[in-house]
Chain A
């Protein structure tokens, strides 16, 4: 009886109201999906400077360090010029950890290199990463919310992100600051080695913006 008693206009009005409420509910946007320390690190699979493919899941059971880099950025130059970065690379890879340097610079932007040049840079700078990976589309960089070079991430043996942020606490291009700065990555690795939770899980990453491919954003 209810449906019969309502004429067509009433039904239309009812439908219109329902549609309006639905439209209002549609205004809610999904929450911003950002990587968070304490949860699983975003999966990825990228090709390195020797053509080999590296997937994060290949390294389950090992601590993985990600370093976003751009060799022409003055902040990156500070940490390579002072051999600060290379020392950390040797320390970690020497202890069975995995160090992946990732280049998210799009072609024709600062920091983009061809594989041969990447290998030459590694040799010239006496760098010791496990591999140098290319992310020219920036998809992996964006999934990690990597904003600057250097932006550092540590993933534990279970695949959980435990640290994201800066290399240290002196956001300058002054090479002398490296000596007195507190290295957050080394501090986090120290906490992990001692079975402690990482004290500072998020810090300010300072440096140059990652030169993402802006045409796809």
Chain B
């Protein structure tokens, strides 16, 4: 039955072939001193009621450029004046995203080497079929190198009105290149805020993770709203990213329209795509009328979280919230045990001079604050250097996660009483006065802040991410306020001796409490191993658990040799050190398989796009064995390029129709959390990551690899080629049968 269907489809191609032969006049190229210009129709014929795309293509001499719709500091975009018959209309030029073109202290937006200008031409429904359509255009452009020369040319083309014809490969290639750089319309939420004399554009949307983006640039449609030559800083925002820019000579605090160009690092190298962004300033809640100087992060991704609360607050409010957040951090399972032990030590030494106790409190607070200051400074410096990092960046390193798990395990063992460490920085419940002065308290502060980081990342990540979009002093201030809040309870205890007296008297309960508090630490360690499992898979879990056994062994060795001679202690302690080094070494090599993130649906259908089923190599092999055409799409929830490709190129009704018509089975593989079968297929195509798009023709034809940036026309082209091939196959089949 399928064979008959194919023949019918092939016969339907015949009028197309006839149309190819019908006359069509193309405009000759206009060659000026610096540019070779052509206006090309996408197809040589059109039909009444259709929209035909034409392309003004400029090939520029080396060193010369033309301009985007907003030319930046100087220059002028090309413009076209059409002379068209009644019933034919030309639309606006569709502008591919530009390149920044610096000149001295200035910056222009434009194109070098080649410039593409797509224009839709609409033919009225009542255009008499068969009557050719003739288009005349006068195009003017400014070509510049160091100097500028206005140029232009007259063009004429005549199109047959018949069934749409096939396009030759060269023309199709030009149109494909023209569309590759067109901005994609997308349902992201964009917000606009003013901060310390800068403009902060926030963009929130599915799959948007700033740490996966290596480059971001915003090109405004309007002159003067953004300073072209000023640097733009990428940062994290709730549910997406932020871009901090310098306002231009004519700022508009209310509105920002333009094109956001993002580069994502993917398995097959970086992928760059442009998105149309329209951001509106939102009035600050409860603020007086007039342009708000505060912030209004435009997001609704997870309203109600600390992030949204912070985003809508003024700086003072943000600082207060940070202090409060710091206080709350003391209750986190990672921190509470450490703090309680410190507090119990206080109880034991309540009789000490209040001044000494106060100094210990200050030293502890200083330890906390310096740890937060170092982390914040590191983050700000990395950001300043253009690195795309967000808070919680530490947790993206499996090594860091594993070492933190070890640390919690070790602290837990200490509380359980498995070992005591005399006079060291992590002697938690020890004797205050016997420690090495205030250094011990200082390091307890540092330690408490370090062990708090795994808890800050998930609970405060978004809020701190927002803090990082602020100017350096403000974000540092927010981090320090968090540290201050964190140190506050203990500081209070040391400064108000009456509070210590309120605590129960020392006794056996303290030993029991101490032992009990080991369990939240074990729980924290277990949670971190789970995180590691997502990042590095079962191998990572095995490595971390083996490491923990090594650590337990090391601890046992340490205590076992405590009462032996000097030599025995030396051997035992070297053994402990070796065990700990080995524990770290076995997790050092762990790499990230995938980002922890929600998985994609296993099968279904996207919008009006073709239906898909989950990928498995068995299913692919079975389909291939039966000679059926297959389309494979390898994707991941954290890959923006993948998600956008599906939206713009794989979810339209036309693509769906073509899939159906060609009998293609659509297999979709989700690599969000890694998958050895998918990895194997990626490997076989020389790729180290998603996206991957492969079209297998019917029979045992060579698979066609599609590029990692898809457009609808590109997919349709590939499908058309497939149908031509299957036609040949069908023809040979028919002649032999």
Contact = CB atoms under 8 A, between A and B. Distances in A.
Interface of A: 1-2, 5-7, 9-10, 13-14, 16-17, 20-21, 23-25, 27-28, 31-32, 34, 72-75, 109-110, 142, 145, 147-148, 164-165, 171-174, 202-204, 206-212, 214, 217
Contact of B373 (A24, A209, A212): A24
A27 B374 CA distance: 14
B476 A211 contact: no
A209 B73 contact: yes
Contact of A10 (B146, B197, B442, B473): B442
A24 B473 CA distance: 7
B380 interface: yes
A25 B146 contact: no
B339 to A, nearest CB: 21
A74 B73 contact: no
B36 to A, nearest CB: 20
Contacts of B74: 147-148, 206-209
B5 interface: no
Contacts of A32: 227, 230, 246
A72 B144 CA distance: 13
Contacts of B224: 202, 204
Contacts of A203: 250
Nearest to B362: A2
A10 B104 contact: no
Indicate the member of A14, A147, A217 with the most B CB atoms within 10 Å: A147
B439 interface: yes
B148 interface: yes
Contact of A20 (B105, B140, B373): B373
A16 B146 CA distance: 50
B330 to A, nearest CB: 21
Given A20-B377, A24-B376, A25-B476, A209 B76 contact: no
Interface stretch (B317-325, B363-371, B460-468, B541-549): B363-371
A8 to B, nearest CB: 10
Interface of B: 73-76, 103-106, 108, 140, 142, 144, 146-150, 197, 223-224, 227, 230, 246, 249-250, 355-356, 359, 363, 366, 369-370, 373-374, 376-377, 380-381, 384, 436-439, 442, 471-473, 476, 480
A20 B472 CA distance: 13
Contacts of B106: 147, 209-210
A171 B78 CA distance: 11
Contact of B439 (A7, A34, A164, A174): A7
B105 A212 contact: yes
A25 B76 contact: no
B246 A17 contact: no
A6 B437 contact: yes
B472 A28 contact: yes
Nearest to A36: B249
Contacts of A6: 359, 363, 437-438
A21 B108 CA distance: 38
16 contacts: A6-B359, A6-B363, A16-B370, A24-B373, A27-B472, A32-B227, A32-B246, A73-B147, A74-B148, A173-B142, A203-B250, A204-B223, A208-B74, A209-B73, A209-B103, A209-B104
Contacts of A9: 439
Contact of B105 (A21, A74, A142, A171): A142
A198 to B, nearest CB: 14
Given A21-B476, A31-B197, A147 B73 contact: yes
A174 B369 CA distance: 64
B13 to A, nearest CB: 47
Nearest to A142: B105
Contact of B104 (A165, A173, A204, A214): A214
Given A27-B381, A204-B224, 5 more contacts: A27-B380, A28-B472, A147-B74, A202-B224, A209-B103
Contacts of A172: 76, 140
Going nearest first, the 9 A-B pairs with the smallest beta carbon separation are: A17-B370, A173-B150, A27-B472, A209-B74, A212-B104, A204-B223, A214-B104, A148-B74, A110-B147
Contact of B369 (A1, A17, A147, A206): A17
A109 B146 contact: yes
Given A13-B442, A209-B103, A214-B104, A28 B249 contact: no
A202 B249 CA distance: 7
Contacts of B142: 74, 173
Nearest to B230: A32
B366 A28 contact: no
A161 to B, nearest CB: 12
Contact of B437 (A5, A14, A171): A5
A72 B147 contact: yes
Given A28-B471, A147-B106, A23 B377 contact: yes
B154 to A, nearest CB: 15
A171 B104 contact: no
B702 to A, nearest CB: 51
